[in-house]
Amino acid sequence: MKELLATKSIIHSNIASPFTAEAHAGLDAVKLGIEMGFQEVQILGNSRTVNKKSQSSTRDYSVIGAVISDIQSKKTCFQKIKFKYIPRRENRKAHDIARESLKNGEIT
């Protein structure tokens, strides 16, 4: 695996489900890549469905369709973007960061 260059934790309110939270996390990751000026990014997430929908260029009509549409519209900001599945047990760092942010009630 390549070097981890950035992480970000954002506290959202009114997120309906973990599925929706995963989609928002993907969108936030894409936005972070744009803000940091990266030309190539690999977004890791533990939802195969969100990753697949994000990588696709097909319009999504599911409950997360609006978030997926936002992700898809921002993909043109990169020369290369890949959404990769990572099992939760291998994504310990992300869960530790999220837990710490919730505990402290702040964005990191």
Domain count, the chain: 1
Contact between 46 and 86 (Cβ < 8 Å)? yes
- CATH code, domain with 91: 3.30.420.10
In a domain, 8, yes or no: no
In a domain, 69, yes or no: yes
Helix ranges (DSSP H) in 13-91: 18-35, 48-55, 65-74
Q: For 49-97, how does the pLDDT look when each residue is reduced to its tens digit (9 = 90+)? A: 999 999 999 999 999 999 999 999 999 999 999 999 988 777 776 667 6
Q: For 18-50, how does the pLDDT look when each residue is reduced to its tens digit (9 = 90+)? A: 889 889 999 999 999 999 999 999 998 889 999
Map residue 32 onto helix, strand or coil.
helix
pLDDT at 18: 83
Give the model's confidence band at 102: pLDDT under 50 very low, under 70 low, under 90 confident, else very high.
low
Map residue 101 onto helix, strand or coil.
helix
Q: Which residues pair with 40 in a beta bridge?
A: 80
Rounded CA separation 91/77 (Å): 26
Rounded CA separation 55/27 (Å): 12
What percentage of the chain carries pLDDT values higher than 70? 83
Contact between 45 and 19 (Cβ < 8 Å)? no
Phi and psi (nearest 5°) for 26? -60, -45
- Residue span of the structural domain in which 61 resides: 18-104
